[in-house]
Every structure is written in C-alpha cells, then in structure tokens.
C-alpha cells in the first residue's frame, strides 16, 4: 500500500490535493502527517528519508517516490499505484 507524506491539510493546500484525490478514488494509502516546526519529523534529514526533494506532499509507492501534487495526481490517475 502506498504511503502519502503530507503536512497539515488545514494549512497546506498542496498536501490536501493528493489526499482528496486518493480519497475520492477510494485508493488505499497510509497517511503520514509530517510537522514542519518543532517536534519529531521537523528536520530536513527526516524529510529526506521519504522525499528526495525534501518537500511534501510525497507519495512513496514501492520503489517509486513522487513529490509534487500534480505529479502524484498523474501517477494515481494513470493507475500506477500498487495497492
């Protein structure tokens, strides 16, 4: 099942977009909320573990990492998600 790494959906519309799409398409995924400030997960090194760009949103689908809400949407819509 793919892993979707996102920031708080209330403050990051970029994170909200792939989440809404995957929910609307009933695509199963594991959601990981990554905080930007303070607490665990805030360091750049932590972001780099799941996102080569160091940015969210990022979809990790097996060996494939897709980081950009439009690119994630294209990946999901093309049916490339491994569930």
Tell me whether residue 8 is in a domain: yes
Mean pLDDT, to the nearest integer, of 29-39?
81
Token pair 């097996």 is at which residue? 62
Please indicate, yes or no, if residue 49 is contained in any of the structural domains: yes
Domain of 12 in residue numbering reads as: 3-77
Beta-strand ranges (E) seen in the chain are 3-6, 30-33, 58-61, 64-66
Residue 76's SS3 state is helix
> Which carries the bigger pLDDT value, residue 37 or residue 57?
57
Find the CATH number of the domain harbouring 14.
Answer: 3.40.30.10
CA distance 2 to 62: 7
Structural domain includes residue 82: no
Our count of domains for the chain comes to 1
pTM: 0.85
Task: Tell whether 83 is covered by a domain.
Answer: no
The pLDDT of residue 38 is above 60: no
Residue 10: band (very low, low, confident or very high) from pLDDT cuts 50, 70, 90: confident
Q: Which residue has the higher pLDDT, 43 or 56?
A: 56
- The answer as to whether 42 is a domain residue is yes
Query: What are the Cα distances from residue 41, in Å, to 2, 5, 20, 28, 30?
Result: 19, 11, 23, 24, 17
- The answer to whether residue 54 is domain-embedded is yes
């Amino acid at each position: 099942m793919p892993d979707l790494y996102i920031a708080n959906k209330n403050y990051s519309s970029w994170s909200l977009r792939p989440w809404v799409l995957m929910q609307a398409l009933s695509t199963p995924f594991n959601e990981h909320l990554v905080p930007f400030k303070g607490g665990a997960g805030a360091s750049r090194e932590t972001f780099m573990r799941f996102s080569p760009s160091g940015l969210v949103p990022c979809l990790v689908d097996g060996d494939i990492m897709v980081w950009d809400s439009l690119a994630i949407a294209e990946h999901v819509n093309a049916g490339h998600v491994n569930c």
